[in-house]
Chains A and B, each alone.
Chain A
């Protein structure tokens, strides 16, 4: 899916910190977020209420957790379309455990472990057999959700213990939900790993040139395997949260989450071709998507129409800098 390769411009010196911060992708996202926030507060009198804003966060925390790991995976030049199916399978396994009488800690552990195992399976197929991840994960997406369908059919699992509800419905302090706290902590960890460790630098390097990395002594396959495991792990965690919030499991749970998580990542400025991106951008994009869907929801806009806005937002935000640059250079076709 790459285009005609163009020589990469590598400047001798980086831009001045201030100017590069002002013209950065993240700055654009902040502006968009502020505009949407302002429009929302004018459009609906119910918007600027701490509890409204708290409800808003539930729109993106679960997908956002997946998007954090997906960002690293996409930066390294791979992709995982099976995340929503992993959520469904992990939720189904938790449902089975409930029928067997498992308690809350065991349930959470099962959800996370199933997610990790699914991620490792993807990682093995991609790294050991050298297969393209987009195709592998289209396959495992059908496989994982298919297993959930085989186990559940048209049934649903209910009867989760009361203490299990804390993960998806509990509050840590005042209006701050456990989901939001977990998302922010995870974002901080991912920011640190991607931008402050040698592991993170290697992820970027792999995305830019995997062959050169291999020859430079970077264990490309092992890092990619770890990234797939992380994505599975985050999907497992998201599964615990969603199952806890809904209190039931159906095989169609989290349908379509994979595309929303990828939309978040791309909107957050991560290059779909790999090698560039930031966690801050992804977090901002998650907030923007939450703001858009929640704001439109307050205005009684149906979910399917919101998706038009999300789709337009994705294309326009990506197209704008390109059009603007071309206009400035006076060579718009």
Chain B
């Protein structure tokens, strides 16, 4: 199983290398380290979000509300900053994490205590959180000139050759890697996805674990809210509209099975990078950005087709044989 998982991520990595190679034939400067660092930095927020979505998908659930959560938390943090520029940035980050956690916990509570399917709960909160953004802001925008210089420059500060944003992404990746591979909760998340019934007998509280994964995805949404707003220096109701599906797309390309239990931190990161490379490369190789949507759509379909070959359920194979007989 383990060698098989490695196999899949290595294929994706190979795909990314080939992609970079192809782009380099049209634009030789693309593969140089400075540019790749830039691509990594540009993709940081998507990578963080994809990791948050990954833990949810691993438990056979889905969180459609992440982009709305991002929008709401980002708006609140930006308004706080505009009203009280003296609040230090680390405090704002803690506020963003806490607010995101609350929004995630609401999703988690409804899934855990009321047993409502996660797709229904988060479909509802998707519209509620974005609507709430309008209510708190009154429809107004927070512009760059209302934000304090610290708020905007914090993630851009260079630290050992990389911007702080990239370091935050690396830190999140490291934490997720440790949690998913080295802790009981990480293994429980996989167990629930593979077989919820067996997990119950193994002493795992399925509902509580689902609650926790929604709290995680909520916190990630909150963190991404601050990062997004300070990166694009505008907070409005339209921020990241429809982005929830990009996050899921990154996970799918990264080989995370929507049926739960299959996927890795490495895969989610690579899946996000794949999308990030495409969106960074199109302008420099003179392809209209209008092509981006169709290309990522094709990439998603291709990824599912390739990943599904290894995922066929045993029952399905028996069925195929029965059909043939």
Contact = CB atoms under 8 A, between A and B. Distances in A.
Contact of B288 (A144, A153, A262, A266): A153
B297 interface: yes
Given A3-B196, A138-B248, A312-B128, A211 B319 contact: yes
Nearest to B61: A1
A315 B300 contact: no
Contacts of A81: 245
A302 B292 contact: no
Interface stretch (B35-43, B46-54, B183-191, B304-312): B304-312
A70 interface: no
Chain A interface category by residue count: 35 or more
A285 B322 CA distance: 41
Q: Which 5 A-B pairs have the closest CB atoms?
A: A146-B294, A142-B297, A143-B297, A146-B293, A308-B131
A67 B197 CA distance: 33
A263 interface: yes
Interface string A136-155: 10111111111101101100
A5 interface: yes
B293 A145 contact: yes
B4 interface: no
A322 B126 contact: no
B294 A150 contact: yes
A131 to B, nearest CB: 5
Interface string A16-34: 0000000000000000000
B62 A139 contact: no
A239 to B, nearest CB: 18
Contact of B131 (A142, A214, A273, A304): A304
A302 to B, nearest CB: 7
Contacts of B308: 129-132
Given A3-B206, A142-B245, A255-B242, 12 more contacts: A4-B200, A130-B316, A139-B252, A142-B249, A143-B294, A153-B288, A259-B64, A263-B123, A314-B120, A314-B123, A315-B120, A315-B125
Interface in B78-124: 110, 113-121, 123-124
Nearest to A215: B322
Given A142-B294, A215-B322, A308 B118 contact: no
Given A272-B120, A310-B127, A315-B125, A139 B134 contact: no
7 contacts: A1-B117, A1-B119, A135-B248, A142-B294, A304-B130, A304-B134, A319-B114
Given A146-B291, A311-B131, A135 B300 contact: yes
A25 to B, nearest CB: 14
Given A139-B304, A153-B288, A304-B131, A3 B197 contact: no
A305 interface: yes
A130 B248 CA distance: 19
B62 to A, nearest CB: 6
Contacts of A52: none
A211 B120 contact: no
Interface in A292-321: 302, 304-308, 310-312, 314-315, 318-319
A159 interface: no
A333 interface: yes
B115 A3 contact: yes
Nearest to B320: A130
B259 A132 contact: yes
Contacts of B120: 266, 272, 314-315, 318
B296 interface: yes
A1 B123 CA distance: 14
